Structure 1
Amino acid sequence: MIIATGATGTLNGATVDHLLQRVPAARLGASVRDPARARHLADRGVRVRRGSYEDPVALRRSFADAEQVLLVSSSDIGADVVAQHRTAIDAAAAVGARRILYTSTCGAGFETPYPPLAIHAATEQHLAASGVAWTALRNGFYGDLGQLLGPWQETGTIAKPADGPFSWVDRRDAAEAAAAILAGDAAFDGPVDLVPSSPVTLADFAAAASELSGRHIERVVVDDEDWVAGEMANGTPEGAARFTLSMFQATRGGHFAHADPTLVQLLGREPRSIADQLADQNIG
């Protein structure tokens, strides 16, 4: 069986949807915190069991009969996330899974100003030490475009700290690529970069937004400390603002600037562009 954690979430939920188009539902399982939220999967024939990164016993039961386990990275900001990931990896190894896949991110490493990259790197280290074949799906950045770009529709500007090239990917493409790997015959060992053919910058987003909206959208670079002060004045806690700032600082350091052809090969097409994603969200 292929067992996916986080199957009621946006990313792995979409991955399970793609898997249902590729393999029989009887070969799929979902390990979820709340099985009631996965009723739609059970109704389609997916085996649904309760599982939590904080409950090793429940995890092992939910992973039973797994050939492959897809682990989504934890979003529990109040927890020891690396410890959660280790618990999940150990549970998958204990039930005899042949391969563990983990939703990592491009640029994972310890020498970075952006804390999540070290979390992913530590998780990948534990995967490598698990004794089980493993794949780290190093997805490009994805998320809420409103948070990334700010209120540009009202202001006519994308006013953020200085950035460097970064790989922005649509969750739907990342999910489709993960399903292709899980259901395919080829073995992807170790880290696999799932990023667009070329990185982008916020200036590229401004250009795409300008074309879609029919008016000039300006990319304005804001001094780091001035931006933090502005965020705090708008009610954002300083720690949260500096966390976001660290992401911009990491892009400036080139941590996310590389490209890779694997995503295109898995999709059999170019991934959705930033213009596509802006248009899909009715931004413009």
Structure 2
Amino acid sequence: MIVVTGATGGLGGATVEHLLRRVPADRIGVSVRDPGRARHLADRGVRVRRGSYEEPATLREAFAGAEQVLLVSGNDPAADVVGLHRNAVEAAVAAGARRILYTSQQGAVPGNPYRPSDIHIATEAILRDAGVAWTALRNGAYGPLDQVLGPWRRTGVIAQPQDGPVPYTDRADVAEATAVILAGGRSFDGPVTLTAPTAVTFDDVAQIASGLTGRTVERVVVDDERWVADQVTNGVPVQLARLLLTWYRAAREGCFAATGPVLAELLGREPHTVADRLAVHLTT
């Protein structure tokens, strides 16, 4: 059985949908905080059990019978995320899982100034010492583009801190590739990087957006401290704003610049590009 955590979230839910196209529903289980939100999966034959990283006993039950467990990483900046991940890894091992897959992050190596990288580095170390086969899916940045570009469609300006090349990756592509791996399409030991094939800067994105919209989209570099102050003015807590700033610093230092062919190989096609994703947003 394949057990997926976070199956009512964006990445976990999309992964389950792709799994359902590849393996029988009775070979899929999900571990969710609220089973009621996964009723649509239970109705299709997926085993739904309550499981929370904060409650290891629930995880052991949710993971029972699993050959593989997909651990979707936590992202609560106020929580001991590494400790929660340790709970999940230990529960998967106790349940007899033969392989643990974990949603890590591209560039999860020492020296990356993006602070969540430390969580992924520590979790990969836990997996390395767990005594079972493991795969760390070092996914390229797959959040909504507007989160990093800002309100450019309204303003015609990408006004953000200095950046660097990033292979912005479609979450749908990541989910599909994850399902391919879980379904046995290909196996990886240790870290594997899943990214779009091309890394782009905000200057590149501004040119792409200009071509798609037929109007000039300008790239403006905002001073780091000015950007933090603007975020706080817009209601973002100062600690969160400074954490987000470390992502731009990591990008400008080239921490996310590397790309690879694995995502395309798993999909059997070219992954979606920034142009593809922007074009979709412009028509919705």
- TM-score bracket, normalised by the shorter chain, equals over 0.9
1:237 partner amino acid:
P
* Distance in 2 (alpha carbons) for counterparts of 1:66 and 1:104: 21
Does 120-129 or 137-146 show the bigger shift? 137-146
Shift of 1:254: 1.0
Distance 1:185 1:241 in 2: 40
- Structure 1 runs not aligned, ≥5 long: none
Match of residue 61 from structure 2:
61
What CA deviation, in whole Å up to 9, does each residue of 1:39-94 have, x standing for no partner? 00000100000000011111000000000000000122321000000000000000
1:2 corresponds to which letter in structure 2? I
Post-superposition CA distance 1:159-181 (Å, at most 9, x none): 11100111210100000000011
Aligned to 1:101: 101
Distance in 2 between the 1:237 and 1:47 partners? Answer: 39
Shift of 1:157: 0.8
Name the aligned partner's letter for residue 37 of structure 1. Answer: R
The reply to whether residue 24 of structure 1 matches residue 24 of structure 2 is: yes
Runs of 4+ with >4 A deviation: none
Which residue of the partner structure matches residue 157 of structure 1? Answer: 157
How far apart are 1:150 and its partner, in Å?
1.0
Counterparts in 2 of 1:283 and 1:159: CA distance versus 1, 3 Å: farther
- Consecutive unaligned residues of structure 2, counting only runs of 5 or more, are none
**Matched residue of 2:270: which SS?**
coil
- Deviation digits for residues 147-202 of structure 1 (CA, Å, limit 9, x no counterpart): 21111122211011100111210100000000011112532100010011121111
State percent identity of aligned pairs: 61
Mean Cα deviation higher: 18-27 or 75-84 = 75-84
1:6-155 mapped onto 2 (5 Å cutoff): 6-155=6-155
Q: Give, in whole Å, the separation in 2 of the partners of 1:125 and 1:283.
A: 43
1:283: Cα distance to partner?
6.2
Residue identity opposite 2:97 in structure 1: A
Q: Tell me, in whole angstroms, the C-alpha distance in 2 between the residues paired with 1:146 and 1:283.
A: 15
Describe the SS at the equivalent of 1:281.
helix
Q: TM-score, normalised by structure 2?
A: 0.97
* Alignment RMSD (CA, Å): 1.2
Match of 2:254 in 1: 254
Partner deviation per Cα, 1:3-29 (whole Å, 9 max, x = no partner):
000011110100000000000001000
Give the CA deviation at 1:211.
1.5
Total equivalences in the alignment: 284
